[in-house]
Amino acid sequence: MSKIKVIPCSGIGKVFGLMSRESALKITNELKPNETEIVCLGHIVTGDADAKEKIEGYSCITIDGCPKLCAAKNVAIAGGIVKAQYRTVDEMRNHKGLDAGTGTALTEDGWKIVDELCEKVCLKADEILKEAE
């Protein structure tokens, strides 16, 4: 079975983008390395043939920073099947008042929010894989 592609947005300079990248890396490197793989949004946007081949027709989960949904939109344009899309800004809303960090470093609370999001994404990945069985 092919791995589910996880694509974070490429938001730089704000904590939301960092949270989306850290979440995607944690899921694909640590939590579900056999079931998921990360694909670089930059390569998808620039039309890189390898990146397009990786996602075209495959199940994808996108993790964006904000409502602009750069990852979800561009993955769909490149032919990826966006099975689920997340936004770190929504996760922050569930934790009003917490300081998650900056565009370059997360605080302990920031990591907790990332961990929670990772858990949700992993459950979703299991669901998608089960559907495909």
Binding site residues, ligand SF4, CB under 6 A: 9-11, 16-17, 64-66, 68-70
Least separation in angstroms between CB 76 and ligand SF4: 14
Least separation in angstroms between CB 54 and ligand SF4: 19
Cβ nearer to ligand SF4, comparing 24 with 70: 70
Tokens of 34: 């056999």
Cβ nearer to ligand SF4, comparing 16 with 58: 16
Cβ nearer to ligand SF4, comparing 69 with 98: 69
DSSP-based three-state secondary structure for 98:
coil
Helix (H) or strand (E) holding 60: strand 59-64
Q: Is the four-CA dihedral 90, 93, 99, 102 of positive or negative sign?
A: positive
Helix axes 15-25, 108-132, angle to 10 degrees: 50
Least separation in angstroms between CB 129 and ligand SF4: 26
